[in-house]
Amino acid sequence: MTAAVREASKASGPPPGTRRSGPRFHIGTTALVYGALVAILAVGAVLVAADGKNLFSTGNIVDMLTRSSLLGFIAIGQTMVILCRSLDLSVGYVMAACSLIAALVMNGSEANVPLGIAAALGAAAAVGLVNGLVITKLKVNAFIATLGTGLILKGWLDTEFAGPAGKVATSFQQFGYTRISLVPLSTVVMLLLAVAGVLYLRKTRAGHHIYAVGGDTDVARLSGIRTDRTVITAHILCAVAAGVAGLLIAARFGTGSALVYDYGLDLESIAAVVLGGTYLMGGRGGIAGTVAGVMILAVLDTVFNILEVNPFYKDVLRGAIIVVAVAIYARRQLSARPSRIRFAAGGAS
Amino acid sequence: MSTGRKFADAGRFLISGSGTVYLVLIAIFAVIFVNNAGFFEAGNLLLFVKKAAPLLILAVGQYFVIVAGEFDLSVGSLVGAQVVLAALLIDGEEARTWPVILLMLAIGAGVGLVNGLITTLLKVPSIITTLGMMLVLFGAIRLLTGGAPTGKLSDGFRVLGNKGIIIESVGVVPWALFIVIAVGVGAVFLMRSSFGRTLVAVGDNEKAAGFAGTRVWWVRTAAFVLSGLSATVAGILVGGYAGLTSQVGDGMEFVAITAVVLGGVVLGGGRGAVLAAMAGALTVESLFTLFTQLEVSSTLRPTAQGLIIIAAVAYASRERSRRHTPHLSTKPAEPNGHHPDRVLKESR
């Protein structure tokens, strides 16, 4: 993306995805993120207990998990594109569009449920394909390309749908409300998607290509990877994940809604991904960390809600926590550098 | 240089990456003219300038940050925070106008300084730093006012964004025009100074600039401070023009980034001219005017806006890659006086 970034990624040693440095790094940062999650849970529990309430009551646990699923879907997709040094700002609009498409196609009929899901996810994939093509073939910066497609979708949504539209089938609403003991079905689906994503990134060739492209596009291309195809695939996966979030919205609301793009999930998902330890400039990190990042944000929200913190104070705290967390990761990455450079020099001699 | 050469040069510049914006701007103005020649009467043009001024100034600030290789997403909420804060502190009292404006400038510079230091010293990516700052400012200002903006801007405060001085035969020339010209001239001189060259060098190749003796962290931090200051000036103008609402500044960061990128400035740094960034802002504003004239339904505007940004940036990047391939094999760089950035870039 930038000269500075190229330099930064060169300075940090061999592109991850190569077996030697990659996995070790994941475990380190991911463990740190889960440590932070546990710490925040502990601090939250103490604060809530001081208020005379219980953070781990059934209601509160369900609240935390429910909050995490919507952002979780989007953040999982966002991780894919950020890993290959791209970005998707259109996810909120894709989510809104998919909720409408699913609700309109289903139109309350049980028989149309599979068709509705397919139509919504198909449309999402199409948007992802367009994003990927604009970025790779037209060479438009990902920030502008996805901002642009987002605006295009926003115009369509605002023009066609002033209010809620369509009606999902009753059985489909189960996706939004069913719980398996404490865990909402949507969270289970989100976690399954996360596991699938982790396996995709770690075990498949295409997944390794994503790390390679994010680490250094030129090196990846010279190594025989079709970099354009990798980026396009990542964007399609990201948009489809946003589409699943749209399905969840439709299931929860019982109808499609255009206004959900206003939730600010695009920037929040980027924050969650980075909070999860994924390097914003690509090539390092993973979905396991992202899930923890999403959980951290969900726990914060739940704790603030229980303590009845002023919602505006919440924004201040959340902004500060995100910046502090990322500063801590950056520190770790800096201290990890010298040893790796020395190692590279030793290997060359 | 013969006249023919000059025209050819001008032509080449217009279809080049950073010249595209002027072509688009001319095209949009041409359509506006065909539609409604009355737009070009002095009065209407000056009105347009008044409306466009805040975005032009915001684009200058965003340009400094982008050309140094970073982003500033906090400017929108900074504009909003400044206007709301000004209303709260002034509360209709004329005497407080100037002290509050000075305080606003200090706050703007302070916010930029914090953004810059967190980004450069703590190595937090600027997207995250400024996103955090956006959340903090958004929350802080509503916390301070209890949700709805309170207080009142003084008339003296609103003069800068809303009023002008009467000049014979032209009519009322808005103060905003003078401020835009001053900021523009200042920015051009700054970019030609050693600071400006260093800024571009840092955005182009941070390491090389560092090896050449630049204090990279300080140059980038200064860019953020300039962005914070320009957001403050934009806030003063917006406050004057539109008055106090709770939505002031909403989404302005994305419009400003769009404007800068439309001006051919490359995200990631090192390329682009500040005047082109201002032209980009003017293009965005004239586009909005055109949409109003053509009675494009307001809900469809984002669609048109999205298509145009993608098309313009795709065109600019195509031109860039086409223009540069031959240089790899031929002589390193043509002497090219009127476009300093190009020389810098090609001598890489």
Q: What is the CATH number of the domain that holds B107?
A: 1.10.3470
pLDDT at A334 > cutoff 80: no
Distance from CA of B266 to the nearest CA of A (A): 8
The Cα–Cα gap between B272 and A260 comes to 36
Can you tell me whether residue B173 is helix, strand or coil? strand
B121 touches chain A (CB under 8 A): no
Distance from CA of B204 to the nearest CA of A (A): 6
- How is residue B3 written in tokens? 């006249």
What's the pTM value of the predicted model, to 2 decimals?
Answer: 0.83
The HSE-up count of residue B212 (CA atoms within 13 Å, CB side) is 13
What's phi and psi for A179, nearest 5 deg?
-130, 140
Mean pLDDT, to the nearest integer, of B42-53?
86
Specify if B132 maps to a domain: yes
pLDDT at B323: 59
User: How many CB pairs lie under 8 A apart between chains A and B?
Assistant: 169
Element (H, E) at A93: helix A91-106
B214 CA to centre of own chain:
25
Closest-CA residue of B relative to A278 is: B125
Specify if B85 maps to a domain: yes
Specify if B153 maps to a domain: yes
pLDDT at B189: 95
Question: What residue type is assigned to position A230 of the chain?
Answer: T
Can you tell me whether residue B168 is helix, strand or coil? coil
Closest-CA residue of A relative to B301 is: A155
Distance from CA of B126 to the nearest CA of A (A): 10
Length of chain B: 348
Specify if B8 maps to a domain: no
Distance from CA of B95 to the nearest CA of A (A): 31
The Cα–Cα gap between A14 and B228 comes to 37
Specify if B4 maps to a domain: no
pLDDT at B322: 66
Contact B127 A149 (CB under 8 A): no
> Please, which residues 134-193 of chain B have a Cβ atom closer than 8 Å to chain A?
134-136, 138-140, 142-143, 147
Range of the domain at B91: 34-324
pLDDT at A4: 44
User: What confidence tier does A349 reach under pLDDT thresholds 50, 70, 90?
Assistant: very low
pLDDT at B158: 84
pLDDT at A25: 47
Q: Which residues in chain B have their CB less than 8 angstroms from residue A11's CB?
A: 207
pLDDT at B345: 40
pLDDT at B187 > cutoff 50: yes
- How is residue A191 written in tokens? 């976690």
pLDDT at B52 > cutoff 80: yes
pLDDT at B209 > cutoff 70: yes
Pick the residue of A85, A143, A270, A335 with the most B CBs within 10 A to test the interface with B by mutation: A143
Contact B143 A159 (CB under 8 A): no
The Cα–Cα gap between A146 and A86 comes to 10
pLDDT at A317 > cutoff 60: yes
Q: Which residues in chain B have their CB less than 8 angstroms from residue A267's CB?
A: 73, 131
pLDDT at B143 > cutoff 50: yes
**How many domains, in total, are found in chain B?**
1
Domains of chain A: 16-342 (1.10.3470)
Burial label for B202, CB within 10 Å (0-12, 13-18, 19+), is buried
User: What confidence tier does B341 reach under pLDDT thresholds 50, 70, 90?
Assistant: very low
pLDDT at A14: 43
Closest C-alpha among A131, A314, A159 to residue A238: A131
Element (H, E) at B164: strand B164-167
pLDDT, greater one: B17 or A196: A196
The Cα–Cα gap between A292 and A76 comes to 11
User: What confidence tier does A29 reach under pLDDT thresholds 50, 70, 90?
Assistant: confident
Of the spans A89-93, A104-108, B240-244, B305-309, which averages the highest pLDDT? A89-93
Torsion angle defined by CA atoms of residues B196, B197, B200 and B206, in that order, rounded to the nearest 10 degrees: -120
Mean pLDDT, to the nearest integer, of A207-229?
93
User: What confidence tier does B76 reach under pLDDT thresholds 50, 70, 90?
Assistant: very high
Q: Give tens-digit pLDDT for B278-311.
A: 999 999 999 888 888 888 888 888 888 888 888 8
Contact A159 B122 (CB under 8 A): no
- How is residue A241 written in tokens? 């994940």
CB contact burial A156-186 (16+ within 10 A = b; e otherwise)? bbbbebeebbbbbbeebeebbeeeeeebbbb
Q: Which of A307-321, A334-348, B91-105, B244-258 shows the lowest per-residue confidence on average (mean pLDDT)?
A: A334-348
Specify if B210 maps to a domain: yes
Closest C-alpha among B268, B207, B317, B124 to residue A1: B268
The Cα–Cα gap between B292 and B304 comes to 12
User: What confidence tier does B18 reach under pLDDT thresholds 50, 70, 90?
Assistant: low
Question: What residue type is assigned to position A198 of the chain?
Answer: V
pLDDT at B314: 87
How does DSSP classify residue A109?
A: -
Contact A144 B266 (CB under 8 A): no
What's phi and psi for A14, nearest 5 deg?
-65, 145
pLDDT at A208: 94
pLDDT at B14: 63
The Cα–Cα gap between B270 and A3 comes to 8
Average pLDDT, chain B: 83
pLDDT at A24: 47
pLDDT at A52: 86
How does DSSP classify residue A256?
A: B
Contact A147 B305 (CB under 8 A): no
Contact between A250 and A123 (Cβ < 8 Å): no
Contact B69 A2 (CB under 8 A): yes
pLDDT at A17 > cutoff 70: no
B132 CA to centre of own chain:
21
pLDDT at A267: 87
The HSE-up count of residue A80 (CA atoms within 13 Å, CB side) is 31
Specify if B276 maps to a domain: yes
pLDDT at B348 > cutoff 80: no
% of chain A beyond a pLDDT of 70: 87
Element (H, E) at B172: strand B171-174
Q: Give tens-digit pLDDT for A232-248.
A: 999 999 999 999 999 99
What's phi and psi for A18, nearest 5 deg?
-70, 140
Average pLDDT, chain A: 85
Contact between A155 and B306 (Cβ < 8 Å): yes
The Cα–Cα gap between A184 and A187 comes to 5
Closest C-alpha among B217, B258, B206, B199 to residue B73: B258
pLDDT at B107: 95
Closest-CA residue of B relative to A272 is: B128
Length of chain A: 349
Mean pLDDT, to the nearest integer, of A106-128?
93
Q: For chain B, how big is the Rg over CA atoms in Å?
A: 21
Residue that has been written with the tokens 């929200």 in this structure: A301
pLDDT at B36: 82
Pick the residue of B128, B250, B320, B345 with the most A CBs within 10 A to test the interface with A by mutation: B128
User: What confidence tier does A16 reach under pLDDT thresholds 50, 70, 90?
Assistant: very low
pLDDT at A45 > cutoff 70: yes
pLDDT at A191 > cutoff 90: yes
pLDDT at B262: 87
3-state helix, strand, coil in chain A (%, to 5): 80, 0, 20
Element (H, E) at A324: helix A311-348
pLDDT, greater one: B15 or A152: A152
Nearest to A155 among B69, B300, B321 (CB): B300
% of chain B beyond a pLDDT of 90: 38
Contact A330 B306 (CB under 8 A): no
Q: Which residues in chain B have their CB less than 8 angstroms from residue A9's CB?
A: none
Contact between A140 and B310 (Cβ < 8 Å): yes
Element (H, E) at A179: strand A179-180
